């Protein structure tokens, strides 16, 4: 059990005021980590912190927008002053737009790449110097099935998630000698508020259940196990890998 014990560790989870980010933060906290939750809006962010504190988890808010690199870096620095060094970074913040490729403006592309890819770079650059100094650290990038597959109407999102997959591997190679492991998690289709419109669409709901061997949507709490594994000593020799938590979708023809 000590392999998965995160007592004394401090974890920053971006985009964690709701959805999968909140579930990941909760899982890390339940295994002993102090968690720093991040969001852009004070209301949902503070509510999420209260929920975790009600469970006995040591949780703290850090409001910042990753598309403002200077403000995000400063906010992470302030959180470190309050909580202590970041031992675990989970890059989860993301957005989604759905349009035919020809309808996407360049501004849409820049916005989506800014959040998913550049935002992950901003957060990593803010915590990696401390990890190098301590010669220890874990970074977990939340990738996607679209890091491997394509679908109509989400070209910018899939491109960003594919780039995040390669950022994961490049950082793993560059920082492995500092005892820093950089890995990713690729969620399948999960039942979250962000996916509510898709779940309520009978055609898309049927597609997900047919395409996924488990024949259902994932539950948000089912992502936590992979996150705890990659954040803990159990994965100290695992580096540059993406764990797909998808009910078997990628394994199926």
**Given 157, 175, 190, 229, the catalytic residue:** 157
- Cα–Cα dist 215/44, whole Å: 32
Place of tokens 């190098």: 132
Annotation marks residue 189 as catalytic: no
DSSP letters spanning the chain: -GGG--TT-EEEETT-SSHHHHHHHHHHHHTT-EEEEEES-HHHHHHHHHHHHHTT--EEEEE--TTSHHHHHHHHHHHHHHH---SEEEE---------GGG--HHHHHHHHIIIIIHHHHHHHHHHHHHHHHT-EEEEEE--GGGT---TT-HHHHHHHHHHHHHHHHHHHHHGGGTEEEEEEEE-SB--GGGHHHHT-HHHHHHHHHHSTT-SPBPGGGGHHHHHHHHSGGGTT--S-EEEESTTGGG--
From the CA atom positions of the chain, what is the Rg in Å? 17
In 3D space, the residue among 121, 172, 116 whose CA is nearest the CA of residue 144 turns out to be 116
Residue 141 CA to residue 191 CA, distance in Å, equals: 20
Known catalytic residues are: 157
């Amino acid at each position: 059990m000590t392999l998965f014990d995160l007592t004394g560790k401090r974890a920053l989870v971006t985009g964690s005021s709701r959805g999968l980010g909140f579930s990941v933060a909760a899982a890390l906290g339940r295994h002993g980590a102090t968690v720093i939750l991040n969001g852009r809006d004070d209301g949902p962010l503070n509510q999420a912190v209260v929920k975790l504190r009600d469970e006995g988890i040591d949780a703290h808010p850090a409001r910042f927008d990753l598309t403002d690199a200077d403000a995000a870096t400063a906010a992470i620095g302030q959180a470190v002053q309050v909580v202590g060094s970041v031992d675990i970074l989970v890059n989860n913040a993301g957005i989604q737009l759905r349009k035919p490729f020809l309808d996407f403006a360049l501004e849409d592309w820049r916005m989506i790449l800014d959040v998913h890819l550049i935002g992950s770079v901003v957060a990593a650059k803010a915590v990696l110097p401390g990890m190098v100094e301590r010669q220890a650290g874990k970074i977990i990038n939340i990738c996607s099935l679209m890091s491997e597959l394509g679908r109509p109407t989400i070209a910018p999102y899939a491109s960003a998630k594919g780039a995040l997959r390669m950022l994961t591997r490049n950082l793993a190679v560059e920082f492995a000698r500092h005892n820093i492991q950089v890995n990713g998690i690729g969620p399948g289709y999960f039942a979250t508020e962000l996916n509510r419109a898709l779940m309520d669409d009978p055609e898309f709901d049927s597609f997900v259940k047919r395409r996924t061997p488990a024949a259902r949507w994932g539950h948000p709490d089912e992502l936590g196990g992979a996150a705890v594994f990659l954040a803990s000593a159990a994965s100290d020799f695992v580096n540059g890998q993406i764990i797909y938590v998808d009910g078997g979708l990628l394994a199926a023809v």
